[in-house]
Amino acid sequence: MEIIEVLQEASRLVYENVKNLAGTEEAMGDFGRGAGGDISRNIDIVAEKTVLDYLRKIQFDCEVLGEECGKVELSKNPKGIVVMDAIDGSTNAVRGIPFFCCSLAFATEAKLSSVTDAVVTDLSTGDMYHAVKGKGAFMNGKKIHVNIKEPVYRIVCLNTSGISPSTIKKIYPIIEGSNHIRHLGANALELALLARGLIDVHIDFRDKLRITDMAAGYLIAKEAGGYILDQNKEPLESEFGFDKKISFIAASNKKILDDILGKLQL
Ligand code: IPD
Ligand code: CA
């Protein structure tokens, strides 16, 4: 079985196990703080257990870095690291807002640039996005690409939850110059929509995102032709670990990227 097929099957099983749970009383059960620092909800725990049980069942030689469970060694001889945000967009999932996903990535070394395989499954629809390094990005098996034209409406996703006044100042010209700002609440799925050509820019400069929120969406957006830079306008890179926080700007094409970068007050 190829690595990408392992991630796809794990993700499909998560969809089966949580599709009727979102928005229910049962979904919100409190399991205390997970490794990533947020409260683990029952829906997060069910989803993570699904992935871990499957990887154990097929004896996949890996280490897992999960948002709730932290680091779990599944083999003494790991081929690499599975980076798992079994539910990205947990708030949406708990409240029943249909925008949350399962985000799984595989990396050969503990850094973003070593991610070789990625799967993001929209857990409301079952739509599955995947990418393998150097082989492009796909939605339900069909190749996808970022938007390369100037869109009729330029959609800018901007994460402002808990943002500081100094960060608002840096991005203010973008806010002022955008007529269509969105924040949908699941970073990995927002990057998948950018990969698919539905979103043109996605910015999160809050220094709050974790590697688990980012790893799969990063590869899918890049393989679909997108640009992803850090807050210093350098190609995004991060080592794995919950002490590392990520800020980034993703853009669908060079013209839009240059336009947005020109507006940033860094
Ligand atoms: C969250 C989502 C959300 C972002 C938060 C993340 P989670 O992931 O990606 O869009 O604003 O910072 O924590 O907690 O639902 O896995
Ligand atoms: Ca999560």
pLDDT digits (tens, 9 = 90+) for 49-108: 999 999 999 999 999 999 989 999 999 999 999 999 999 999 999 999 999 999 999 999
Residues 102 and 187 placed together within one structural domain of the fold: no
Task: Give the pLDDT of residue 32.
Answer: 82
Tell me, what CATH number does 96's domain have?
A: 3.30.540.10
**CATH code, domain carrying 218:** 3.40.190.80
Query: Which of 36-45, 126-135, 156-165, 241-250 is predicted with the least confidence, judged by mean pLDDT?
Result: 36-45
Q: Decide whether any atom of ligand 1 lies within 6 Å of the 247 Cβ.
A: no
Number of domains in the chain: 2
Confidence check: pLDDT of 37 > 90: no
Percent of the residues in the chain that have a pLDDT greater than 70, as a whole number: 100
Domain range spanning residue 39? 3-143
CB 99 within 8 A of CB 193: no
Q: Are residue 128 and residue 196 in the same domain, yes or no?
A: no
Determine which residue's CA is closest to atom 16 belonging to ligand 1. 88
Three-class HEC string of 37-54: CCEEEHHHHHHHHHHHHH
- How many angstroms does the Cα of residue 251 sit away from the middle of ligand 1? 19
Count of CB atoms situated within 10 Å of the CB of 83: 28
Q: Looking at the CA of residue 89, tell me the nearest atom of ligand 1.
A: 15
| Least distant ligand from the CA of 214 | 1
Predicted confidence at residue 40, as pLDDT, reads: 82
DSSP letter, residue 21: T
* Average pLDDT in the chain: 96
Question: Residue 245 Cα, ligand 1 centroid: separation in angstroms?
Answer: 12
Residue 150 resides in a domain: no
Q: What angle do CA 247, 137, 61 make, to 5 degrees?
A: 80
**CA of 204, nearest ligand number:** 1
Q: What would the DSSP string read from start to end of 61-85? A: --EEEETTTEEEE--SS-S-EEEEE
Rounded mean pLDDT, 159-182: 95
pLDDT in tens, 106-137: 999 999 999 999 999 999 999 999 999 999 99
Single out the residue in 101, 122, 143 at which a domain terminates.
143
pTM listed for this prediction: 0.96
* Residue 128 and residue 26 in one domain: yes
Q: Rounded distance, CA 209 to CA 134, Å? A: 25
Q: Give me the residue label for tokens 């003494």.
A: 76
Ligand 1 within 6 A of 34 CB?
A: no
Whole-number pLDDT of residue 31: 82
Mutate to test the pocket of ligand 1, among 121, 213, 247 (most ligand atoms within 8 A of CB): 213
